[in-house]
């Protein structure tokens, strides 16, 4: 489950960009104003799910699914990092609009 939510977190920003290309009434800034918080929340949810899965694997004897948890953790943190980067970009854009 962590892989699915992590993949959704990573795909949220490209989906926002694609939405701005396909829907003519939606600008890139407006699409990213929605996509960045969605990616952040999904990333944090994925981190939580992966931590729970990691805890279960650490308590088991046979350690099944350890690679899956690693991939899920990578996707979860990538989604969080992309959301933070998008938030910084939106913040600087807002600063430029206000100052310019």
pLDDT computed for residue 61 by the predictor: 76
Asked whether the predicted pLDDT for residue 29 surpasses 80, the reply is yes
pLDDT computed for residue 100 by the predictor: 78
Cβ–Cβ under 8 Å, residues 13 and 86: yes
Both tokens of 42, joined, read 């999904």
Please state, in angstroms and rounded to a whole number, the distance separating the CA atoms of residues 96 and 73. 35
Instruction: Tell me the pLDDT tens digit for each residue of 35-86.
Output: 999 999 999 999 999 999 989 888 887 777 888 999 999 999 999 999 999 9
The DSSP code sequence of 9-74 is HHHHHHHHHHHHHH-TT--HHHHHHHHHHHHHHHHHHHHHHHHHHHHHHHHSSS-TTHHHHHHHHH
The pTM assigned to this predicted structure is: 0.90
pLDDT computed for residue 11 by the predictor: 97
DSSP state of 64: T
């Amino acid at each position: 489950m962590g892989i699915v939510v992590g993949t959704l977190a990573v795909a949220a920003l490209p989906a926002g960009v694609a939405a701005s290309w396909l829907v003519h009434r939606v600008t890139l800034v407006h699409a990213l104003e929605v996509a960045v918080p969605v990616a952040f929340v999904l990333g944090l949810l994925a981190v939580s799910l992966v931590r729970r899965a990691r805890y279960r694997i650490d308590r088991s004897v046979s350690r099944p699914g350890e690679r899956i948890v690693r991939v899920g953790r990578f996707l979860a943190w990538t989604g969080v990092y992309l959301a933070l980067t998008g938030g910084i970009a939106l913040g600087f854009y807002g600063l430029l609009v206000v100052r310019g």
